[in-house]
Amino acid sequence: MSTPTTDPTATPRTARSVLARVGSLGPLLGLIAVALLATALNPDFASFANVSNVLTRAAFIGIIAVGATFVIISGGIDLSVGSLAALTAGTVILIMNALAPSLGSGVPTVMVGMLVALVVGALAGLAHGTLITRGRIEPFIVTLGTLGIFRAVLTYLSQGGSITLDLKLSDTYSPVYYGSVLGIPVPILVFVAVALLGGLVLNRTRYGRYVQAIGSNEQVARYAAIDVTRVKILTYVVQGVCVALATILYVPRLGSASPSTGLLWELEAIAAVIIGGTALRGGAGRVWGTVVGAVLLVTIENMLNLTNIISVYLNAAVQGVVIILVAFFQRGRR
């Protein structure tokens, strides 16, 4: 086959690449459009309190979705994040409650709880990664399995009810969700930090490059002397740690975990990643897009709650339409 020296469809810098550039900004433009619309419908939308509510809510899914960005770019998928969040939350609360009598209801107990969350998340990721790489099982299957397992264990631990954090511990812990620094709620700060770190790791470290290479073509990566197994396992560990971070922020919000905690978070996280412009088949993606995607999803929900123009029965439909529209404007990039 004789291919022209330069791909003719990629060369002209003019009209096409401007369109492509606009397309790649799709999610951001979508977010701006939704925000403008929401403000027009209810000026309260743009109030500081509401914006900070929206961003705080987006933090959970957003942080998880940053991890999911890595997994998806590497060509994998993790369906278990919502269940893992629930299990982690339950485990952390039980352990903190158990420690409270001996260790007191102060900061040390909460610190131990946070550490436990990170360990649980990382171990779950390690298990996923190991089963997927060394066990050679499809990530879809592995994480579909653990999706059920994690939630069932939590349901067992809670006996179908809810696991509730001691009131005193709850007071110690609550600034992690309800507190703010310079007027900005803590979850938003953590979200921003995770996103910045994620972007840096993806684009400016060897690990990030390897993740992209593996997602683009695993065989090529293997032949190029990359330790594919290690990089992939690490990717699921990153996802687990992100889930743990989100859970650490989540626990003080309601101070409880129940079988409905984190329900369908996996779909929201994956949706945020894909809306953000990461290819579901792997290889290429970006963290900032994921952040925008997560905020966009929450914003739509918020807008619908703040207005009454559309029947509440249609909430999900509005979200669906926006997701498809954003994807539509990005389609040229494939």
Partner 1 sequence: MRNDVHAAFREVGKRFGAVEVLRDVTFEIARGEVHALIGENGAGKSTLMKMLAGYHEPTTGHVEVDGQPVTLRSSRDAEALGVVLIHQEFNLAEDLTVAQNVFLGHEPGRGLVDDAEMVRRTREALALVDVRLDPRTRVRDLSVPQKQLVEIAKALSRRARLLVMDEPTASLTLSETRTLLDLIRRLRGEGVTVLYVSHKLEEVKAVADRVTVLRDGRLVTTRAAQDLSPHEMANLMVGRELTDMFPGKAEPGSEVALSVRDLDVPGFAGGVNFDVRRGEVLGFAGLVGAGRTEAFEGLLGLRRRSVGRVERDGRPVRIRSAGDAARHGVVYLSEDRKGKGLLVDMPLRPNLTLMTLERYARPLLDPRAEQRALERAAKEYGVRTGRLDVPASALSGGNQQKLVLGRILEVDPRVVILDEPTRGVDVGAKRDIYHLVHRLAAGGRAVVVISSEMPELLGLCHRILVMREGRVVGELSGDGLTEQDVIRLATGLTREEGASHVHTHH
Partner 2 sequence: MKHITYTLLVSMALGVSGALAQGKQVIGVSIPSADHGWTGGVVYHANEAKKALEKQYPNATIIVKTAKDATEQANQIQDLYTVNKINTLVILPYESAPLTAPVANLKKQGVYTVVVDRGLTDASAQDAYVAGDNPGFGKVAAQYMGKEMGGKGNVVILRGIPTVIDNQRVDAFEAALKAQYPGVKVLDKKFGNWNRDDAFKVMQDYLTRFPKIDAVWASDDDMAVGVLRAIQQAKRTDVKLVLGGAGMKEMIKRVMDGNDKLIRANVTYPPSMIADAMKLAVAARVAGKAMPKSTIIPSVLVTKSNASKFYYPNSPF
Site residues, partner 2 (CB under 8 A): 42, 44, 47, 49-50, 53, 57, 155, 158-162, 164, 178, 253-256, 258-261, 263, 301-302, 305-306, 308, 312-313, 315
216 binds partner 1 (CB under 8 A): yes
160 binds partner 1 (CB under 8 A): no
Minimum distance from residue 164 beta carbon to partner 2 (Å): 7
Minimum distance from residue 208 beta carbon to partner 1 (Å): 8
* Rounded Cα distance, 300 and 165, in Å: 31
Taking contact as CB under 8 A, which single stretch among the options 5-13, 26-34, 189-197, 286-294 is the one that binds partner 1?
5-13
Strand locations in the chain (E) = 163-164, 180-181, 184-185, 256-257
* SS3 state at 227: coil
* Rounded Cα distance, 88 and 106, in Å: 20
264 phi-psi bin (left φ>0, alpha ψ -120 to 50, beta other):
left
Minimum distance from residue 221 beta carbon to partner 1 (Å): 8
- Distances 310 to 33, 267, 314, 317 between C-alpha atoms, Å: 18, 24, 7, 10
331 binds partner 1 (CB under 8 A): no
Site for partner 1 in 18-37 (CB under 8 A): none
Q: Between 220 and 317, whose beta carbon lies closer to partner 1?
A: 220
- Return the structure tokens found at 324: 């498809």
* Of the residues 149, 284, 306, 325, which one makes contact with partner 1 according to CB under 8 A: 284
213 binds partner 1 (CB under 8 A): yes
* Rounded Cα distance, 265 and 169, in Å: 26
Minimum distance from residue 272 beta carbon to partner 2 (Å): 16
Taking contact as CB under 8 A, which single stretch among the options 143-151, 155-163, 173-181, 225-233 is the one that binds partner 1?
225-233
The per-residue DSSP string of 244-279 comes to: HHHHHHHHHHHSEE-TTTTTTHHHHHHHHHHHTT--
Minimum distance from residue 58 beta carbon to partner 2 (Å): 11
CB 23 within 8 A of CB 16: no
164 binds partner 1 (CB under 8 A): no
Contacts to partner 1 by CB under 8 A:
1-12, 14, 16, 200, 203-206, 209-210, 212-213, 216-217, 219-227, 283-284
